[in-house]
Amino acid sequence: MKSKRGGAIKKAPPGYYTAQEAQKRLGLNPSTFSYYVRKGKIKKYVPPLRTEGFYEKKEIDHLANQMTLFLHTREEKDTTEVRIAQPQDAQGIAEVLTVRGWQTATAKQRISWYAINPLIDLVAITDKKVSGYIHAVPYTPETLSDIMAVRKRAWHIEPDDILAYQPGNTYDLYVGIATVESISNHTQRVGFRLMSEFHSFLEELAERQIYIHRLYAVSAEEPGQKLCQKLGFIRLKDIPEDYLFPDWHRYMLDLETSDSRFAQQHREAVQQIKE
């Protein structure tokens, strides 16, 4: 391809952006972008025997996510961190739901799950307390079927119902999210942060050669149902058990085929990792 001036149009190698693409992704004008590059805040990679530089997609995308997060939380001091849950977080996770009057698994149960797979919960910590979490667990096929049909709930789950991750394998995950509503602006400060880090978490699994095919979810709450729809989940067809739980909606997101933005970004990230 040729530009209007006759020169070859730059094309970034796999896993990288051109300067123009990186500027657009970050929403910066050329002068501001160049300033941050000179200051080392944005890393430029110049291949051997080349003069033009490129910008790693993973770094630029992460920076773009952080900028978006800042815009959502700029009016408040952000003291929230997100990380993989540890056994000491189990009681706090249980309390996120019990304060709403919802039944859930005990802290002791959750700790027993971590012995099988320690990567099933992402937890948000605000002011040294658990302020929300994402549960993303690879159940056995039988247990996943029971969970989706609401024949089993969290307090019924035993360690044998959960699969351990093995590199080279592909898994389906059952996912759920909950935040503490008493925290001001909790959707942006906690929920948005959890979702952003969950995307990065799936990439980290791919880097370990652990691949995720489908995400499943069940929700009886309107906010949860709207979130599923916004992320591109499709509502599954009714099953005989649904008449027992008319308010519960069942959802699935196929990360390999969905045209939702979430799924497309995930596929691009996995492809870059494989390359």
* 99-113 tens-digit pLDDT: 888 899 999 999 999
- Confirm whether pTM is higher than 0.75: no
The reported pLDDT for the residue numbered 34 is: 81
Domains of the chain: 16-73 (1.10.1660), 80-274 (3.40.630.30)
Q: Tens of pLDDT along 187-238? A: 667 888 898 889 889 989 999 999 999 999 998 888 888 989 999 999 998 7
**pLDDT recorded at residue 242:** 60
Distance of alpha carbon 178 from alpha carbon 13, whole angstroms: 39
pLDDT < 50: residue spans in the chain: 1-9, 75
Q: Which residues lie across from 235 on neighbouring strands?
A: 251
Can you give the pLDDT at residue 41?
Answer: 86
Please report, for residues 21, 54, 56, 265, the alpha-carbon distance to residue 45 in angstroms, rounded to integers and kept in the order given: 14, 5, 8, 22
- Rounded Cα distance between 57 and 34, Å, is 17
Task: State which amino acid sits at residue 229.
Answer: Q
pLDDT of residue 53: 87
- Residue 19's closest CA among 2, 43, 39, 41? 43
For residue 132, give the H/E element and its range.
strand 129-137
Residue among 94, 140, 88, 146 at smallest CA distance from 114:
88
Integer Cα distance of 75 and 63 in angstroms? 19
Q: Residue 162: its pLDDT value, please? A: 98
Amino acid at 186: H
Task: Report pLDDT for 135.
Answer: 96
The helix-helix angle for 30-38 and 19-26 (nearest 10°) equals 100
